[in-house]
């Protein structure tokens, strides 16, 4: 059994649709005791946005699984950064993204806590789906 069944399912269905290596970037933000996922973006192997070249059925697939995708990534985010959405004192909140890689089935996270300036607190470990 996989740790991230929705992510594995989504990426395995997207790979033949896209037809080449790609990254799925899922961004999030949190502040004032609220947190949310902002966007899901396709990027090619060179990191360039694929917005105009993504087939409609790939967009529909992502849309149909978006809530479950956000749930799984939200659990990972909360396990790494409990209270990530809370701002108090000098902390305003946090932002970041998960990068899902079709080539090696990895999940890499970049996480920044917003103080009066930013501080990269990205974890060193890489997850696999």
pLDDT, average across residues 57-72? 96
State how far the Cα of 122 lies from the Cα of 124, in Å rounded to an integer: 6
**Taking phi first (over 0 means left), then psi (-120 to 50 degrees means alpha), and beta for anything else, what does residue 37 get?**
beta
pLDDT of residue 32: 81
What is the pLDDT at residue 128? 83
* Alpha helical stretches, state H, the chain: 5-18, 56-80
What integer best gives the mean pLDDT of the chain?
89
- Annotated domain spans of the chain: 5-128
Q: Which residues of 20-34 are buried (b: 16+ CB within 10 A; e: fewer)?
A: eebbbbbebbbbeee
Residues 19-53: pLDDT tens digits? Answer: 999 999 999 999 888 899 999 999 999 989 997 88
Whole-model pTM: value is 0.85
Q: Is 109 exposed, middle or buried (0-12, 13-18, 19+ CB in 10 A)?
A: buried
Task: Return the pLDDT at 67.
Answer: 96
Phi, psi of 10 (to 5 degrees): -60, -50
Residues in the chain, overall count: 129
pLDDT at 1 over 60: no
């Amino acid at each position: 059994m996989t740790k991230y069944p929705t992510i594995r399912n989504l990426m395995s269905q997207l790979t033949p649709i896209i037809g080449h290596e790609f990254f799925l970037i899922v961004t999030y933000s949190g502040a004032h005791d609220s947190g949310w996922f902002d966007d899901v973006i396709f990027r090619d192997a060179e990191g360039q946005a694929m917005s105009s070249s993504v087939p409609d059925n790939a967009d529909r697939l992502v849309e149909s699984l978006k809530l479950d995708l956000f749930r799984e990534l939200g659990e990972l985010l909360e396990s790494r950064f409990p209270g990530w959405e809370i701002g108090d004192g000098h902390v305003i909140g946090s932002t970041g993204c998960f990068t899902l890689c079709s080539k090696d089935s990895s999940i890499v996270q970049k996480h920044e806590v917003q103080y009066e300036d930013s501080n990269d607190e990205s974890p060193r470990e890489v997850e696999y789906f």
